[in-house]
């Protein structure tokens, strides 16, 4: 199998599968229990919180576990939403941000302009901020095309205008890959997820700077285990997530992934005509390469490739069946709009795998273009 859909989800590291299995056997007590067995599990959760806090350079008590980035994004947006407040975001957000805003009670949600590579316009952001602005939420690494926003610069613009505005980033595609140091980035809140870093699914987290904690409201009421989200603590998943993140430090080789990305892009550019590279060449995550093939239906191409055990995405998995909102925001030529394929990499892909992918791409693109 050649799995090139790692931005949708990753395969758990084998070591983490073993860690989680062992944890389920040995540490199945409820960490909220008063007995010593419960305390042992609580200590494991504490260890996980410490690992993640040190990874993002925050305090332990600023990390809240959630069931994933979707929940984290919803917690932030719903906490700040009110008929008196306005928020600012981009056209390039994940559906869990866009949909949460669409269903929120904000007086207005303003959209920052962007260029045709997905980078936001700093003047546009500055001009949108007014006295009612209480939240700015920005995607750090865009999940369909990979553009990386200059978060520090954005933070400086916001904080220069009003330091009480909560600045939140969705770092789901960034964690474990590029720096997520919350102090260097200058963010007040950050969402992230375990299953994008070879950890288990259904677990993620939210960083909230201590001084902003008072503004955050729970989404699920109950035992208040994670303050903003109630329910029995998923200790095995939390611990495995932290271990996956720790392992990613050793296993992930950014320059190897960059090499794979460039290799695939260049051979596609050199062998297939009428293509458009939607991912920027600079300031882009090497883990994501989005290429549109003119006059091709990406779904047809995707299904032909799966016949050879090659798995890619058309647009993002979360916007299945819809025309890509993101590609529309980039003003991509209509002729390319239906033909975008996202290749997303991991450490276990080789150049030989990519040679095979390109051989099949050449064959199928030619076949589809002959028919349509």
Q: Which positions touch ligand PMP (CB under 6 A)?
A: 68-70, 94, 96, 139, 143, 170, 172-173, 193, 204, 318
Nearer to ligand PMP, 86 or 172 (CB): 172
User: Which residue lies nearer to ligand PMP by CB, 10 or 41?
Assistant: 10
Distance from C-alpha of 37 to C-alpha of 59, rounded to nearest angstrom: 26
Least Å from the CB of residue 55 to ligand PMP: 17
Helices (H), 65-194: 69-80, 95-102, 122-128, 151-161, 182-185
Rounded Cα distance, 188 and 168, in Å: 6
Q: What is the DSSP letter of 85?
A: -
Q: What is the phi/psi pair of residue 36, to 5°? A: -65, -30
Q: CA end-to-end span of the chain, whole Å? A: 29
Of the two residues 141 and 357, which places its CB atom closer to ligand PMP in the complex?
A: 141
Measured from the CB atom, the residue of 31 and 204 that comes closer to ligand PMP is 204
Output 170 or 338, the one with its CB closest to ligand PMP: 170
- As measured in angstroms, the least distance from the Cβ of 166 to ligand PMP is 18
Closest CA to 357 of 275, 277, 260, 287: 260
Taking alpha carbons only, the member of 188, 134, 142, 182 closest to residue 162 is 134
Q: How far is the CB of 265 from ligand PMP (least distance, A)?
A: 21
Q: How far is the CB of 125 from ligand PMP (least distance, A)?
A: 19
Distance CA 3, CA 25 (A): 31
Q: Is 180 a known active-site residue?
A: no
CB burial string 185-194: b at 16+ within 10 A, e below: bbbbbbbbbb
Nearer to ligand PMP, 118 or 204 (CB): 204
Does residue 76 contact residue 216 with C-beta atoms inside 8 Å?
yes
- Catalytic option among 29, 317, 318, 337: 318
Q: Where are the alpha helices (DSSP H) in 57-150?
A: 69-80, 95-102, 122-128
- Beta-ladder partners of 111: 89
- Report which residue's Cβ sits closest to ligand PMP: 68
Cβ 116 to ligand PMP, closest distance in Å? 20
d(CA 338, CA 296): 7
Question: Which tokens is 372 given?
Answer: 């349509």
Q: Side-chain half-sphere of 67: how many Cα atoms within 13 Å?
A: 10
- Residue 7 Cβ, how far from ligand PMP at the closest point, in Å? 6
User: d(Cα 12, Cα 35) in Å, to the nearest integer?
Assistant: 32
Residues in the chain: 372
Compare residues 143 and 279 and give the one whose CB is closer to ligand PMP: 143
Q: In the complex, what is the shortest distance from the CB of residue 285 to ligand PMP, in angstroms, rounded to a whole number?
A: 11
CB 314 within 8 A of CB 298: yes
Give the catalytic positions in this structure: 318
């Amino acid at each position: 199998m050649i799995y090139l859909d790692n931005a949708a989800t990753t395969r758990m590291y084998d070591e983490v599968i073993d860690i989680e299995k062992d944890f389920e056997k040995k540490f199945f007590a409820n960490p909220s229990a008063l007995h010593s067995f419960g305390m042992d599990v609580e200590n494991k959760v504490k260890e996980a919180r410490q690992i993640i806090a040190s990874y993002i350079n925050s305090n332990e008590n600023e990390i809240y576990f959630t069931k994933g980035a979707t929940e984290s994004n919803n917690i932030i947006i719903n906490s700040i939403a009110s008929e008196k407040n306005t928020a600012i975001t981009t056209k390039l957000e994940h559906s869990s941000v866009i949909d949460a805003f669409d269903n929120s009670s904000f007086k207005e949600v303003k959209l920052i302009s962007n260029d045709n590579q997905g980078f936001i316009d700093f003047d546009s952001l500055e001009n949108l901020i007014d006295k009612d602005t209480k939240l700015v939420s920005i995607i750090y690494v865009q999940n369909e095309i990979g553009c990386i926003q200059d978060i520090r610069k954005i933070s400086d613009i916001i904080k220069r205008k009003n330091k009480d505005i909560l600045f939140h980033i969705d770092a789901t595609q960034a964690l474990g890959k590029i720096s997520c140091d919350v102090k260097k980035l200058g963010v007040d809140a950050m969402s992230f997820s375990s299953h994008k870093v070879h950890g288990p699914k259904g677990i993620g987290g939210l960083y909230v700077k201590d001084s902003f904690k008072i503004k955050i409201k729970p989404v699920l009421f109950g035992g208040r285990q994670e303050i903003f989200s109630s329910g029995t603590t998923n200790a095995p998943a939390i611990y495995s997530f932290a271990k996956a993140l720790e392992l990613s430090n050793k296993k992930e080789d950014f320059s190897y992934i960059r090499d794979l990305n460039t290799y695939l892009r260049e051979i596609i550019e050199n062998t297939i005509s009428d293509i458009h590279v939607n991912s920027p060449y600079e300031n882009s995550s090497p883990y994501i390469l989005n290429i549109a093939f003119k006059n091709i239906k990406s779904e047809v191409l995707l299904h032909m490739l799966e016949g050879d055990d090659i798995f890619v995405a058309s647009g993002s998995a979360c916007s299945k069946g819809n025309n890509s909102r993101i590609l529309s925001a980039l003003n991509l030529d209509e002729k390319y709009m239906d033909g975008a394929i996202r290749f997303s990499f991991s450490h276990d892909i080789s150049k030989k795998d990519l040679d095979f992918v390109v051989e099949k791409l050449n064959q199928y693109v030619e076949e589809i273009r002959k028919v349509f």
